[in-house]
Amino acid sequence: MAIDPAEADVVLVPGFMQGPSSWEPVLEHIARRYRAHAIEHRMHDFEGRLAEIEAVARRGAALVGYSLGGRLALHAGLRAADDPGRFGALVILGATPGIEDPEERTRRREADEELATWIELSSIEEVVSRWERIPALAGQSSALLAAQRADRLSHDPARLAELLRSAGQGALEPAWHRLETLETPLLALAGERDQRYAAAAERMAALARDGRAAEIPGAGHAAHLERPEIFSAALLEFLDQHLGQGRIVDGDA
| pLDDT tens readout for residues 224-236 | 999 999 999 999 9
Distance CA 159, CA 161 (A): 5
Q: Are residues 199 and 222 in the same domain?
A: yes
Examine residue 228 and state whether it is found in any structural domain, yes or no: yes
**Report field, pTM of the whole predicted structure over 0.85:** yes
User: Quick one: pLDDT band at residue 5, thresholds 50, 70, 90?
Assistant: low
Q: Are residues 160 and 39 in the same domain?
A: no
User: Quick one: pLDDT at residue 68?
Assistant: 96
Answer whether residue 108 is part of any domain. yes
Q: Does 128 share its domain with 209?
A: no
Nearest to 170 by CA among 72, 83, 100, 250: 100
pLDDT of residue 247: 56
For the cut 90, the answer to whether the pLDDT of residue 250 exceeds it is no
Structural domain contains residue 232: yes
Read off the pLDDT of residues 52-100 as tens digits, 9 standing for 90 and up: 999 999 999 999 999 999 999 999 999 998 898 999 999 999 999 999 9
The pLDDT value given to residue 236: 96
Task: Give how many domains the chain has, as a whole number.
Answer: 2
Domain stops at, among 151, 167, 183: 167
3-class state of residue 178 by DSSP: helix
Same domain, residue pair 218 and 137: no
> Is 249 part of any domain?
no
In the listed set 139, 167, 195, which residue is the last one of a domain according to the structure?
Answer: 167
pLDDT tens by residue, 120-152: 999 999 999 999 999 888 878 899 999 999 999
- Domain hosting 83: range is 5-98+175-242
> Is residue 128 located within the same domain as residue 80?
no
CATH number at residue 48: 3.40.50.1820
Q: For residue 92, is it within any domain?
A: yes
Dihedral over alpha carbons 39, 21, 17, 138 (to 10 degrees): 130
One DSSP character per residue, 102-126 reads: HHHHHHHHHHHHHHHHHHHTS-HHH
Tens digit of pLDDT for each residue in 168-226?
Answer: 999 999 999 999 999 999 999 999 999 999 999 999 999 999 999 999 999 999 999 99
- In this structure, what DSSP letter does residue 155 have? S
Q: Is residue 252 part of a domain?
A: no
Residue 247 belongs to some domain of the structure: no
* Domain-embedded: residue 160: yes
- By the 8 A CB rule, do 168 and 112 touch? yes
User: What number of other Cβ atoms are within 10 A of residue 250's Cβ?
Assistant: 5
The pLDDT-based confidence of 252 (bands split at 50, 70, 90) is very low
Q: Is the pLDDT of residue 6 over 80?
A: no
